[in-house]
Chains A and B, each alone.
Chain A
Amino acid sequence: KAGVTQTPRYLIKTRGQQVTLSCSPISGHRSVSWYQQTPGQGLQFLFEYFSETQRNKGNFPGRFSGRQFSNSRSEMNVSTLELGDSALYLCASSLASIRDMERYNEQFFGPGTRLTVL
């Protein structure tokens, strides 16, 4: 089974620009979560989508947004980029099934998109 894929892997942007990152979850996974990882803050939760609906949201400004499509693929958008947005952006998918407590929220991470804002 193919893993989580993220595109692009690397991105360089300048302040004020916007960016869209893409994530394709594992087939059959309906939940997609996005995280920002920086050396100073660690792994910070951005939001989670389940069946095209945002189910959870972290403490990030409105410049960070996302969506999920009917095939569970997800995109994340950051508008008006700031220098502090430079980070590794990770996408994770999961079955998110309550029936099987052992596996229901195990997160499968993609390789990430390394965003550099100049």
Chain B
Amino acid sequence: SQKIEQNSEALNIQEGKTATLTCNYTNYSPAYLQWYRQDPGRGPVFLLLIRENEKEKRKERLKVTFDTTLKQSLFHITASQPADSATYLCALERYRGSTLGRLYFGRGTQLTVWP
């Protein structure tokens, strides 16, 4: 089955720095990869999606890279702010014929940005 590992359970950085979160996967090449943010007591919120044939995607202060050779995605938050503190989840899906497959989620990295 698909295995997804996110680099660490917790990451603490200072405000203004760039946070870099890692997502590694094994066994299958995903059709695409998604990143979500989850705050305590709430459901995850979609942030970015990157396809297997894309190297990089940006949205405001967020950047995602996707290296299918390394089987790795990096998620960057530039100019981080305390409001960015949350758990970040990566999720991937592979094609299953002509239908959509299920999403596999990593266990998340808890990011804390301190002033």
| A interface residues with partner B (beta carbon < 8 Å) | 4, 31, 33, 35, 41-45, 48, 55-56, 58-59, 90, 92, 96, 98, 101-112
Contact = CB atoms under 8 A, between A and B. Distances in A.
Interface residues of B, number: 26
B105 A102 contact: no
Contacts, number: 63
12 contacts: A41-B107, A42-B108, A43-B89, A43-B108, A45-B102, A45-B103, A55-B99, A55-B100, A105-B93, A105-B103, A106-B49, A111-B43
A96 B104 contact: no
B34 interface: yes
Contacts of B46: 106-108
A48 B104 CA distance: 12
A97 to B, nearest CB: 9
Contact of B43 (A44, A55, A92): A92
B102 A107 contact: no
Given A43-B89, A55-B99, A109 B104 contact: no
